A and B are shown apart, each in its own frame.
Chain A
Amino acid sequence: MITINNISKSYNSKVAVDQLNLQINPELFVFLGPNGAGKTTTIKLLTGLLRPDAGHIQLNGHDIQIEPLAAKRQFGYAPETPALYEKLTPFEFVRLILAIYQIPTAIGVTRMEQLFDIFELNDHQNSLIEELSNGMKKKISLIAALVHQPKILILDEPTVSLDPKAVRHLKEIMRGMVLRGSSVFMSTHILEVAETMADRIGIIDHGKLAALGTIEELRASFHVDATLEEIFLRLTGEASSQKIDEFLQ
């Protein structure tokens, strides 16, 4: 369970996250928002990569600032850009992750082999990461987040660069983890994923939570039978058709 209690974060004078409150239960929570709205900042605050100016974050009851190691043991994290150790092989990288999370060898290796198989990386597990494509790097990053079977999964734009088959497998894994009691917090720009998969959706704009609820609750609050795209655009501001027309001319 993730509890975000009144957190704020500013970069110099720019407010990135403004008094955000959220509680994520064992569910698949999708965080939406335009570029620069504060999604990645929120995720970095959740993972301890940034410190909040105010507020608290608890991961399964452990405050990320007060008990960082205990809190970090709760989650698996895949960043938006999979910056990995380029001079290691996927096998070596995931083995390092297993050692960090102190997963017993037999269990860890079985899981690693299963995930390499699911994401079709078997043939590349002993090549240098620097020689792999972006999509493959993204898969390795996801495997590293999943291999220790965390209670909380934090994914920043997980579907970017993935092929449709891998996206499908990832969706199934996320759904399966939620059914087994894990919390999944993911940010995405792909509204179809949010619409079809999310138990709840949060929409952030200019650092503030603009909407929160299930897709039905969001529709109800707007009193329309609208698609998620229409709700999203209404909340975050539509692009001016006039400007597009001017550009096209």
Chain B
Amino acid sequence: MILPLLKITLYKSFALFRTGRKIKPIKSILPLLAMSILPVFIILRAREMFEAWLLVPQLGASFMLSFLSSALLGLFVVLILSGFPHAFYYLYLAPDLSLLAALPLAPRTIFLQKFIEMSLMGCGAFIAVGLPLMISMIWVLGGIIRAYFLLLLLFPLYVIIAGAISALLSMALAAFLNVRRIRRFFVYLTGLIIILVWAGLQFLRLSRLNPLSDDFDADMVSRFSSFFANMKFSAFPSDWLLQSIYSTAIREPERMIIPFLCLAITAAVLTRLVVLIRARSRDFSNPEIGRVFPAHPHRHSKGKLFASLFQKEMTLIFRDARVLQSYWIITAMILVWPFIQQRQAMSSIESGIDLLPFLGSLLLISLFAGNMARQTVPNEREAFQYLLSAPISIRRVLMAKLLAQSALFAGMSTVNVWLTAYRFHLFIADALVLWLCMVFCVVIGLVVGQTIGVLFGNYHWQDPRQMLTPGWNYLSPLVSILFCGLGLAIFAALWQVNQIVAFLIFFAYVGGVFQFGIMVSAKKLTKLEWI
């Protein structure tokens, strides 16, 4: 009975790549190509680094293996922690659970399918980072085809073990705590982990471990070596996977038997445990949470429609765990950015060229703003029909959305500029210039993102993530950067001539982009048909 259920799981996985309408084959490849950018980049960079290590006698294969083992162990911990929200969702809250429960299916079959589904959804981090590292290792060791195949066969076991640990711990928590509430907590925690990993990598800079790089830091390598020497990696599934693949890659298959067996048996036992324990409780229903929000004073009366719309936007942002998690991540990146910026301290912004060191943060915030804004209309989901059928101008709805997001991004910009000014000893006037530029870039990014979201939407109201066509999903950041870069270029060119004129022209440019974006978006949405 599990096979028909797994077929559904497979269809659901493929559905993530569907847009709901017929598209040219080249367009259907676009999302896959875009998603492969990071893994390909990691493969190429890691290969270069591993090759360099193999050439240095003090480092060699053992350093590479220790590095990989610790990287995979770190990834294993990330997979476990990020697996909690998936476990709560698939094992307790999935909407199809009640339907499956009503079918003549054994609970074990249902939860086995749910567990597989959960593991599939949780393997993204490994495919993006872990798999490329392993491919690089096989590549530098001679690229034996059998090793690649074995990697494809074994990595699901590693992912399953991490998922099973998350599931078992989730079930233990679910026995005492409210599932929805604890899931929300872990969604935020996952966001925090992503932030920490990202920030850690920014400060660590792996290029310092590469003997071929200008950044190479011999002290750091020796610190890593002593750290690796003190670690007992062999107790962890990450090392079992690594040893299995490594042994195959160096043509010593007999050495892979024990780690392989450890991996396979642990995965099988843990899967069995998850399914048995979850099936025993037989509680298929979605537990109610009963969260109560205090009713605020009725302060919105006639003429305060815009305030109501703004408040609605803010409430939706702060109560949607997915959206809030994105804001967490962006906030952390914006705040970490001043500390990872490599630039010389400078006296003041006297010419347009003096803005160049800040270009990265200006474009980065514009890109993030664009990425968030393109989801705002899709995030309305099917409730948007209430606004479409209500006596309200869509222009106002769009402006309320932009204002809510501008408020959040302006807050981030303020802290970012304050940190930048503190770190690089900027004068107040220069910090103010930088802050204004950043706010202008935020507005440009938001308007461009929202406009792209509206103009090139698929209008799949059920799933906001599927709303944009695949091509535009990846092009929209570029468009945000392009518009923002153009504004900054005009500003920088005029700065030397007259600073006030430069600001006024930049302001006019932002105003023009804003007006145009709102106008075309409102026009499109007003004509939208709710089929």
Contact = CB atoms under 8 A, between A and B. Distances in A.
B230 interface: no
A96 B389 contact: no
B301 A131 contact: no
Nearest to A132: B288
Interface in A81-98: 81, 83-89, 91-92, 95-98
Contact of B393 (A69, A73, A101, A102): A69
B389 A77 contact: yes
Interface string A37-76: 0000000100111110000000000000000111011000
B396 to A, nearest CB: 10
Interface of A: 11, 44, 47-51, 68-70, 72-73, 77, 79, 81, 83-89, 91-92, 95-105, 108-109, 125-128, 131, 144
B295 interface: yes
Nearest to A99: B308
B290 to A, nearest CB: 7
Interface stretch (B100-108, B378-386, B470-478): B378-386
Nearest to A87: B319
A49 B390 contact: no
A96 B312 contact: yes
Contact of B305 (A85, A87, A99): A99
22 contacts: A49-B388, A49-B529, A51-B527, A72-B389, A73-B391, A79-B385, A81-B382, A83-B382, A83-B383, A83-B461, A85-B383, A87-B315, A88-B316, A96-B308, A100-B390, A100-B391, A100-B392, A105-B299, A108-B298, A126-B292, A126-B293, A128-B293
Task: Tell me the interface secondary structure of chain B in the complex.
Answer: loop
A125 B295 contact: yes
Given A83-B382, A99-B308, A131-B288, A44 B391 contact: no
A49 to B, nearest CB: 4
B14 interface: no
Interface string B474-487: 00000000000000
B529 A109 contact: no
Contacts of A70: 391
B308 A131 contact: no
Nearest to B389: A47
A100 B382 contact: no
B300 interface: yes
Nearest to A125: B295
A127 B383 contact: no
A87 B300 contact: no
Contacts of B303: 102
B4 interface: no
Contacts of B530: 44, 49-50
B22 interface: no
B312 A83 contact: no
B308 A100 contact: yes
B391 A101 contact: yes
Nearest to A49: B530
B529 A131 contact: no
A104 B387 CA distance: 19
Nearest to B305: A99
